[in-house]
Amino acid sequence: MANARPIQALAAPHVARCEPGPRPSLRWLPVSSLLVDTRYQRELSKKSIRLVRKVVAEFDWARVRPAIVMSRDDERFEIIDGQHLAIAIATHGGLGDVVPCLIVPGRPMAECAKAFVGVNRDRLMMTPMQVFRADIEAGDDVALAVLSGVKHGGGAILYSAPAHGVFELGQTVAVNSLRRVAERKGKAGVARIIRICVEARL
């Protein structure tokens, strides 16, 4: 694979290592065995419900990462990360009633809460440009309309901001704004806006 990058260790001689605890196990667990501790996890918001419905509508196992759970006893497990996945599987109706889970041996509630914060705080969020590049490779119609529209308008999309924030004529990183234009006006709308900007020497 010409564009594949192998996983390699980083040089980190001065990074202190903490005690990782016992190695977790991987299992498919029944939805009915999974619990959410509401003392430190939020109730489902409108945004959460919209997310679950989106996951149900677009469910694809290739997008799923296992839920992280901690064992409470032989039959019950506390979700640290993945309640949206579990609710989506329960809601879907065509996926069975089990969830892929990474099971960590049980710990006190305070440690569960700390793990919950760590999972959410340490997650590396994708930038709009990373999402856009992935959408291009996936053949997303809107992203392709943006790419083509910018080119036809005489502009160029940069995949990172230029040094010292100095753009040349027609260059842009505003992919989210251009996506909104493409959703309403298509490639032609994007091209028209870019052409106006180039003619205005922006």
The tens digit of pLDDT for each residue in 64-78 reads 999 999 888 778 998
Of the listed ranges 68-82, 147-161, 188-202, the least confidently predicted one is 68-82
80 by Cβ neighbours in 10 Å (0-12 / 13-18 / 19+) ranks as buried
pLDDT-based confidence at 31, cuts 50/70/90? Answer: very high
Residue 161 has pLDDT above 60, yes or no: yes
Residue 38 — φ and ψ, nearest 5°? -80, 0
The mean pLDDT value of the chain amounts to: 87
Task: Report the pLDDT value the prediction gives residue 119, as an integer from 0 to 100.
Answer: 67
CA-CA distance, 100 to 26, in Å (whole number)?
A: 7
pLDDT-based confidence at 100, cuts 50/70/90? Answer: very high
The pLDDT tens digits of the residues spanning 136-152 come to 887 889 999 999 999 99
Once rounded to an integer, what is the mean pLDDT over residues 26-31?
95
State the sign of the Cα–Cα–Cα–Cα dihedral 186, 187, 192, 195: positive
* Residue 108, token pair as written in the block: 């006190």
Task: Report the pLDDT value the prediction gives residue 122, as an integer from 0 to 100.
Answer: 61
- The three-state secondary structure class of 4 is coil
Task: Report the pLDDT value the prediction gives residue 48, as an integer from 0 to 100.
Answer: 86
β-pairing, 77-81 vs 67-71, is antiparallel
Nearest 5 degrees, angle CA 122-CA 125-CA 131? 160
Task: Report the pLDDT value the prediction gives residue 124, as an integer from 0 to 100.
Answer: 54
Task: Report the pLDDT value the prediction gives residue 81, as an integer from 0 to 100.
Answer: 87
CA-CA distance, 187 to 148, in Å (whole number)?
A: 7
Task: Report the pLDDT value the prediction gives residue 40, as an integer from 0 to 100.
Answer: 72
pTM here is 0.65
Of the listed ranges 36-45, 74-83, 159-168, 193-202, the least confidently predicted one is 36-45
